Amino acid sequence: GLHVDLSISGCSDSDGEMMYSLDGEEKWFADFINHRGVEPQPSFIDHISYVEGTYEGAVANQQVCRSNLKLRREAMKDIPLEN
């Protein structure tokens, strides 16, 4: 059958998110507060692990996201709310 594989990445000035899921079940997420990747899988399944460096990649993606957010804010600051 078909499966739904999902990746979510986003940021704000003070927070961020990076998560991978399969068929609606979270497989991995970045815990930026505790500086680690979390694999919230139940004990009754064969554990699926992500490669070493996945968390560090998520941190790097957050830096890119915040940089892009800053650039977009600067580019849009003089755009009027109404045309």
Cα(10)–Cα(35) distance, rounded to whole angstroms? Answer: 17
Q: Answer whether residue 19 is part of any domain.
A: yes
Question: Structurally, how many domains does the chain consist of?
Answer: 1
Judged by DSSP in three states, 44 sits in coil
Confidence of residue 43 (pLDDT cuts 50, 70, 90): confident
Residues of the chain above pLDDT 70, percent: 99
31: nearest Cα among 8, 53, 59: 59
For residue 39, the domain's CATH number is 3.10.320.10
Q: Answer whether residue 81 is part of any domain.
A: no
Range of the domain at 27: 5-76
Instruction: State the average pLDDT over residues 38-64.
Output: 93
Indicate whether 47 pLDDT > 90: no
pLDDT, averaged across the chain: 93
Tell me the pLDDT tens digit for each residue of 4-34.
999 999 999 999 999 999 999 999 999 999 9
pTM: 0.82
Q: Answer whether residue 82 is part of any domain.
A: no
User: Edge to edge, what strands does the sheet with 25-31 contain?
Assistant: 5-11, 16-22, 25-31, 36-38
Q: Answer whether residue 21 is part of any domain.
A: yes
Q: Answer whether residue 48 is part of any domain.
A: yes
pLDDT reported for residue 48: 85
